[in-house]
Structure 1
Amino acid sequence: MPKFDEIRESRVIKACAAARAVKKPNIKRIAREFDVPYGVLHGRIKYGRTSLCGRNPTNMALTKAQDRALQDWADYMQRHYMPLTPAMVEAYANRLITCAKKPRSPVSHMWAYRFIERLPPHKKLAPVRQKVKDVKRIGAEEAGALELWYNNLARVTKTLPPHLVFNFDECGFQPGKGKPQNVISGTEYRSDLPEAEHSENITALECIAADGSSIPPLYIFKGSTFQEDWFHASEQLPEGTITSVSKNGWINDDLALEWLNHFQKHTIDRVRPGEKRLLLFDGHGSHKTEEFITRCLNWDIIPFCFLAHSTHICQPLDGKPFLALKQHFKKENNELSFWGREPAGKSEFLRVITNVRRDAWGSRRILRDGFKERGIYPTDGTAIVKALEKEMPIFDDLVIPDYAIHGEKTPPPEFPSSSSVEATPPKSMEKRLKNYAKCANIPGIQPKHQRNIDRIFQYAEIDAERATIASDTVAKMAAIRTPLQRRKSKRQIKPLSQNGILSIKDANRSIATSALKRERTAKTKLRNAYKKQYGRSPPPSPKPLILPSNDAELANLPDSALFSIDTTPLR
């Protein structure tokens, strides 16, 4: 209320008090005496009217009780980590209006925003941007489990050089898909970039090391056979790049094993005698098969899996490396669409990805930063864990009453009869203890030998405990994986021809051979047409060029094998 209204209202109150003090007040005289309008004072005295500030507003969508209830409900919901959106506020308000005895018109869309603006300051409620996150990821982002994971990783990387710490993951590409970009144009002349309506996904398996190096990738196309158009201008790809096909363009168990063979081939020369390689990967089912893990252990590769649904904060490739690849790939698609006026398709992928990979990963720094920012190498997950702790809610401490003051003791817990855990020690442990007792009571044994016997039994006990833990772990994994395998048994993948892998070098060689066969066929048809037309065979032509299998054979060939001059006179 403005200041002058407050002053006038105070005078009106004093005038009303003076008028009520007498039986027959002279309202005009009292109004002039207190300098208040006659109509206002007359209405207050004769008709019992109140001031505007004291009346209930008639333009309120909700009553005071409804408005207060909605405020309390918003506070209650945010304290239980379910904050309301403006649309929810609008729905709740309309629900209150509908349930009232005298329903009014529903609130407007903007009413919810005005309601949020006039929330009481003491409730500390304000508009906040709520991010979308997978429910499994929310459960995985637990600081304690992540800190333990980093501690276990630190024990492994403590003795490993950076060139032996690897991370591999899949990255999906959609040829012909670009991104919005800013241009200089008028509104009436602006045109949009063409984009592929239906673009198949192509999966790239990339592997990088903590020193900034990488191995040649594996590209998986959707299909059952290889097409020559896919390998157009693919000679510039890194030496050793391989391709494959699958039913849906994704990785499967067989391709994961073939990629592991590819990894062994390109990293075995980095290892010295006694050294091991660390391979970090996500929890995809194809990475955790028995064959995959067994092959890793046989080749002195330490398989190390990220926590479930935590790769978005821990995996190096999911940071700058993949972000740079996708940004450059979309930029390249924009260039092709801008100048060619049609999106690049599947057949241009290998040609496009050559420049994309070179521009994105031309400097090793971006790959090294990927490991450093995620706390993988050097191993330090403090920043990641602290960031999660700030986002975690703070709960009140659990207070447990002390029953000792009542003279009672808490009884020990009883194991249920249906528990699968054995309450008695196994017979192997009893036999070990008996043998140890026999060795400890040997008469005349020297103290030195007794210490050695004690040490042997101590290590044997440790190994037995480790074996027990490992057995329980394997049993739990089998119990969890068995139903999953039953559910996935319906999904069958057709067997791939041979190993399903095709290198870029072999692909280009096959293309060249096919082209040579087509050329021979064309020459045969031309020779037959010549003979049919002229009744004789055409003059002999130079021998067809046969590509050698390697550079050594090419160097040993004489010049006459590569070049020849047709000396047949023209007729």
Structure 2
Amino acid sequence: MANRLLADRETPPVGKRWASNFVKRHKELKTHFPRKYDYQRAKCEDPTIIRNWFRLVANVIAKYGIRPDEIYNFDETGFMMGVIASGMVVTGAERRGRPKSVQPGNREWITVIQAINAEGQAIPPFIIGAGQYHLAHWYRESNLPGDWAIATSPNGWTDNEIGLEWLKHFDRCTTKQSKNRYRLLILDGHQSHHSVDFERYCKANKIITLCIPPHSPHLLQPLDVGCFGLLKKAYGREIEHLIRCSVTHISKTEFLPAFYTAYQATMTEKNIKAAFRGAGLAPLDPESVISKLDVQLRTPTPVEEVVSPSTPWVSKTPKTILEADSQLEYLERRIKRHKSSSPESILEALRSSKGTKIVMHKVALLEARVQDFEQANKILSRRRRAKRTRLQKGGVMTVEEGRQVIDQTDVDAQAVAGPSRSGGQGGPTRMKERRCGACGKTGHNARTCQIVVAMSMEEYSD
């Protein structure tokens, strides 16, 4: 642009560093790397399309008298079990290049189907793992709530059949709350959300589905706006913690507890309400979404730095580490001004205090390290003792149902083992008493047998 203007005046073009120098001269400007943006997504970010979407939502809510706790959004997201989250690390100033973070690297796929409502409530998740059979240790070794559901598929992805099973799971979890009222289910255009059986079940159970405009989940779908990103980052941190604990392979046995911890930390009422608010659905506010699309050029107002007057620190009994540091600085200043007598005793007290703080910090770090090793040992022990007992081929099971099947299997195994232990003769057989190998009597063995010792002494005397 600058060269075009200069060409009209028949002047030489600008230099190589003209653009960077121009930005430096204007404090209101800043350089950024542009973000790649698909044309189809940009084309769908039309204010007219978005306003029509919110008009449709408002009409459906008014027509069926739907309350905020009956407005649901559901979607699926995927996890590669052994991949950690990207983040920033602190390194030495002399290091060059990007540092490397070690990760387990297991790229087995897990799909999670989640639903939330505008009142900040989350429906128990629906977890889909790759495989044919439900294994007992998924349910026995995990700390998952009993109403969570687990399904299997050949590749860990969802399909029309699993989508229908999730819909039944959603209906079971929300029927009591809705009390035979209509529920609004906002979803995207995935094919499993629009199968004939899916639509038929929704119609039969007073579930109204609304499909958001294509290529717009990042703007209009609450789960994409404010939940799934946080959930994946939290899960990545859990896997990063496991790799620090020397757990180098992530299987479903480790995935389920790690995902549960991340889920508890992120799928909170506050985050869910913020997600609906960010998508403009609760309360209905189309402009909150449309305003993100408009780029308005303006001259920024210079920010005036407010210098707060520094108040001198008043000596008092420290209650935090910051107050303790301030107390030490205060004492050091007093010592430097002290001239009437030797401050050696006070300096010794300061050195002792600093040494104590160093030791306490080291102890805290060692305790954290011990906890990490204990957790790693617990995880590895759980993996070693896990038996690949098959509970069911395919289908869907809640965690509670899986535990009931395990308990029933244990009861059946004990019933079968009972007659074999009794010897099949109508009663339990008594164990044979152990006898000494030398004299045949009970109560001792050949090594401690006194009769053998006595006999050997008589033979020696002869």
Fold match, TM over 0.5? yes
Give the secondary-structure state (helix, strand or coil) at the position aligned to 1:256: helix
Residues 470-525 of structure 1 deviation map (CA, whole Å, 9 limit, x = unaligned):
xxxxxxxxxxxxxxxxxxxxxxxxxxx88711221222233344456667788888
Contact 1:202 1:221 in 2 (8 A): yes
| SS of aligned partner of 2:120 | coil
Q: Is the 8 A contact 1:207 1:217 kept in 2?
A: yes
Aligned pairs for 1:430-441 (under 5 A) are: none
**Superposition pairs for residues 179-194 of structure 1, below 5 Å?**
179-180=85-86, 194=102
* Aligned partner of 2:138 among 217, 230, 253: 230
Q: Is the alpha carbon distance of 1:373 and 1:220 closer, same or farther for their aligned partners in structure 2, counting shifts above 3 Å?
A: same
Deviation readout 1:229-270 (Å, 9 max, x if unpaired): 433532x32332111111221110001111111111111112
Q: Which residue of 1 aligns with 2:401?
A: 506
Change (3 A) 1:341 1:126: closer
Within the candidate set 74, 77, 81, 1:175 is matched to 81
1:285-342 per-residue CA deviation (whole Å, 9 max, x = no partner) reads 1101122112111211110111011001110011222122112111111111112342
1:441-492: CA deviation from partner (whole Å, max 9, x where unpaired): xxxxxxxxxxxxxxxxxxxxxxxxxxxxxxxxxxxxxxxxxxxxxxxxxxxx
* Alpha-carbon distance between aligned partners in 2 of 1:323 and 1:329, rounded to the nearest angstrom: 10
Q: CA deviation at 1:212?
A: 0.7
**Percent identity among equivalent residues?**
26
The aligned amino acid for 1:149 is: W
1:241 is aligned to 148
Q: Pick closer, same or farther for the CA change 1:127–1:192 going to 2, 3 Å.
A: closer
Query: Do structure 1's residue 371 and structure 2's residue 266 form an aligned pair?
Result: no
Given candidates 383, 388, 397, the residue that maps to 2:293 is 388
Please say if 1:163 is aligned against 2:72. no
CA contact (8 A) 1:220 1:251 kept: yes
Q: In 1, Cα distance between the equivalents of 2:194 and 2:90?
A: 51
Tell me which residue corresponds to 1:107: none
Q: 1:347 aligns with which of 253, 256, 263?
A: 253
2:100 matched to 1:205?
A: no
Give the counterpart letter for 2:289 in structure 1. I
Q: What residue number does 1:251 align with? A: 158
Structure 2 CA distance, aligned partners of 1:332 and 1:368? 25
Q: Aligned match of 1:308 in 214, 217, 226?
A: 214
Task: Indicate conservation of the 8 Å contact 2:80/2:106, yes or no.
Answer: no
Of 171, 180, 187, 1:264 maps to: 171
Q: Distance in 2 between matches of 1:390 and 1:229?
A: 53
Cα offsets for 1:12-48 (capped at 9, x unmatched): xxxxxxxxxxxxxxxxxxxxxxxxxxxxxxxxxxxxx
Are residues 341 and 200 of structure 1, via their aligned partners in 2, closer, same or farther at CA, if it must alter by over 3 Å? closer
Distance 1:521 1:174, change over 3 A: farther
Moved more, 176-185 or 238-247: 176-185
Determine whether 1:360 maps to 2:269.
no
Counterpart CA distance in 2 for 1:318 and 1:391 is 25
Q: For the residues of structure 2 that align with 1:226 and 1:113, how far apart are their CA atoms?
A: 64
Residue 326 of structure 1: aligned partner: 232
The 5-angstrom pairing of residues 2-41 of structure 1 reads none
Give secondary structure in 2 for the equivalent of 1:389.
Answer: coil
Kept after mapping to 2: 8 A contact 1:200/1:346: no
CA contact under 8 A between 1:320 and 1:367: conserved in structure 2? yes
SS in 1 for 2:295: helix
| Secondary structure of the corresponding residue to residue 151 of structure 1 | helix
Which structure: larger Rg? 1
Report what 1:480 is aligned to.
Answer: none
TM-score after normalising by structure 2: 0.60
Aligned partner of residue 160 in structure 1, secondary structure: coil
Q: Does 1:298 align with 2:193?
A: no
Q: Aligned with 1:202: secondary structure?
A: strand
Q: Distance in 1 between matches of 2:418 and 2:178?
A: 53
Q: Specify whether residues 113 and 129 from structure 1 end up closer, same or farther in structure 2 by C-alpha distance, changes over 3 A only.
A: farther
Residues in 2 aligned to 1:195 and 1:518: alpha-carbon distance in whole angstroms: 40
SS in 1 for 2:114: strand
- Say if 2:103 is the partner of 1:195: yes
Question: Structure 1 residues 195, 164: closer, same or farther in 2, change over 3 A?
Answer: same
- Tell me if structure 1 keeps the 8 A contact 2:146–2:398: no
Q: Which amino acid aligns with 1:267?
A: T
State the distance in 2 between where 1:222 and 1:329 align: 19
Distance 2:260 2:81 in 1: 13
Cα–Cα, structure 1 residues 524 and 325, in superposed 2: closer, same or farther, change >3 Å?
Answer: farther
C-alpha distance in 1, partners of 2:134/2:200?
31
CA RMSD of aligned residues (A): 4.0
Check conservation: 1:230, 1:349, Cα contact below 8 A. no
- Asked if the contact 2:120/2:270 (under 8 Å) is kept, the reply is yes
For the Cα contact (< 8 Å) 1:169–1:207, is it kept in 2?
Answer: yes
CA shift in 2, pair 1:391/1:173, >3 Å = farther
Looking at structure 1, the residues matched to 407 and 243 of structure 2 have their Cα atoms a distance apart, in angstroms, of: 30
Evaluate the alpha carbon distance shift between residue 356 and residue 370 of structure 1 in structure 2; reply closer, same or farther with a 3 A threshold. same
Q: Indicate the SS of the match to 2:129.
A: strand
| Distance (whole Å) between structure 2 residues aligned to residue 199 and residue 132 of structure 1 | 25
Aligned mates of 2:15, 2:429 — CA distance in 1 = 90
Query: Which SS does the other structure have where 1:388 is aligned?
Result: coil
Aligned to 1:407: none
Report the residue type matching 1:197 in the other structure. Answer: G
User: Which runs of 5 or more residues in structure 2 are unaligned?
Assistant: 8-13, 23-28, 298-391, 432-442, 445-462
Distance 1:191 1:113, change over 3 A: closer
Q: Give the direction of change, closer, same or farther, for the CA distance of 1:525–1:328 in structure 2 (3 Å limit).
A: farther
**Whole-angstrom distance in 1 between the partners of 2:55 and 2:420:** 72
Distance across 1 between alignment mates of 2:41 and 2:59: 26
Amino acid at match of 1:507: G
The answer to whether the Cα contact below 8 Å between 1:204 and 1:218 also exists between their aligned partners in 2 is yes
- Counterparts of 1:537-556 in structure 2, within 5 Å, are 538-539=429-430
* SS of residue matched to 1:317: helix
Distance in 1 of aligned mates of 2:88 and 2:18: 37
Q: Once the 2 structures are TM-superposed, how far is the Cα of residue 126 of structure 1 from its aligned partner?
A: 9.9
* Aligned residues between the structures: 322
